[in-house]
Amino acid sequence: MTPPLSSWLQGFRAVSAPLRSLVCFPYAGAGAGVFRDWASAVASDTELLAVRLPGRESRIGEPPLQRVEDAVPAILAALGPLGNRPLILFGHSLGATLAYATARALVARGHPPALLAVSGRRPPHLASRRPPVHGLDDATFRTHLAALGGTPPEVLACDDLMELMLPMLRADFAMSDAFLEPDPPPLPVPILAFAGAEDTEATVEEVAGWERLAGAGFSLRTLPGGHFFLHGQRAVIVKYLTMENL
């Protein structure tokens, strides 16, 4: 019998005897639900899980975290009941950083993931080209969100909804802005990187920099679209995850 999931993980369908688990980490401001539609593209022998950070969805009443390091121990604890099942970690933007930090912690525990897949994110040794945004005034912060394109216009236009979401959004961007490892050692894990051909937040050249951390093989896949290309390329991404995973 599969043990109940932690509040940190959301499952989207029952798999009686999964051969592997695909664990997805959402981008800043998003919850586990952004991966709900992936269930139709994932093979029937693969368990689909998504990480849910505090401050959103069913955890809306919990204070959001502002440091990647504060999230990793709880994520590890949530993954513990999965046992020795092969793990594929996939993260987009901030989620890629969380997936990477989780992969490094799993390696330290002697249970490296089968694959680390990062999407729309520069590697941890490359500092951002833009100044931090989490401290911007509300109007400028909302303009930045609109430029990224990941927040529906109707949400940005609703003052009451934005007042509810801004603390979580600011915390997520603080988490994203602060994470930097100037000289990280390679991971003994294969890395698959996805880049959007028109992404100006994390360019193809920047995403290619993940090769420096790949101690067990590296692949780069460039897909059409801007920073949120993952929404239009769901089936392609899942196909590549399956192909690259042993």
Catalytic residue flag (residue 227): yes
Catalytic residue among 21, 93, 119, 176: 93
CA distance 94 to 179: 10
3-state secondary structure string, 124-171? CCCCCCCCCCCCCCHHHHHHHHHHHCCCCHHHHCCHHHHHHHHHHHHH
Return the number of other C-beta atoms located less than 10 Å from residue 181's C-beta.
15
- Does the active-site annotation cover 144? no
Residue 58, number of CB atoms within 10 A of its CB: 12
- d(CA 65, CA 176) in angstroms, rounded, equals 11
Q: Which one of the listed residues 21, 92, 119, 227 is annotated catalytic?
A: 227
> How far from chain centre, in Å, is Cα 81?
21
Catalytic residues: 93, 227
